[in-house]
Amino acid sequence: MTSEELHEQMIAAMKAKDKTRLSIIRQVIGEVKNIEVNERRDATETDVDNMIKRLIKQTNETLEMSIKAANNQERTDTLTEQVKILESLLPEQVTGDALIALIEQTIAELGATSKKDMGRVMGALTKATGGNFDKPMAAKEVGARLI
């Protein structure tokens, strides 16, 4: 997702009067501005995606603690909604048959035959998809195909 797309999402959230979505998008835009100011460069699409993934991880950790505490259901519901909104901002992950086809193609291209090649295959998958794939499923499938 680019900075321009984030601004369009923010405007749409304002028009829809969706306060939760607007709050999350503003948080993401603030993080993008931090990247641009601190590193004195424009944030790339990869920067934005990585930052959103980091926010998802942080929100999930907070959500897990809230679930364990089990004393504020409203906060737990809000955090769950925030995670869903953040996930919707990321590009769709490669899963299922598309992922299996990509794994087979990558193994063939690299000529991978043994478990020693698993790191190269996973690295190539990450590069090909920009890290947007189901990593546990991919690791299982790659491991099953390499001897």
Write the CATH number for 122: 1.10.10.410
Q: Assess whether 73 and 108 both reside in one domain.
A: no
- Tell me which residues of the chain have a pLDDT lower than 70: none
Examine the domain organization and report whether 53 and 7 are in the same domain: yes
Of 89, 112, 130, the residue that ends a domain is: 89
- Print burial letters for 50-72: b (CB count within 10 Å at least 16), e (below 16): ebbeebbeebeeebeebeeeeee
Q: Output DSSP code: residue 90.
A: S
Q: What is the pTM of this model?
A: 0.69
Q: Among 23, 28, 17, which residue's Cα sits nearest to residue 90?
A: 28
Q: Given this model, what pLDDT does residue 10 score?
A: 93
CATH of the domain at 12: 1.10.1510.10
Say what the pLDDT of residue 14 is: 95
15 and 71 in a single domain? The answer is yes
Domain around 139: 96-145
Q: In this predicted structure, what is the pLDDT of residue 137?
A: 87
Can you give the pLDDT at residue 53? 87
Total domains present in the chain: 2
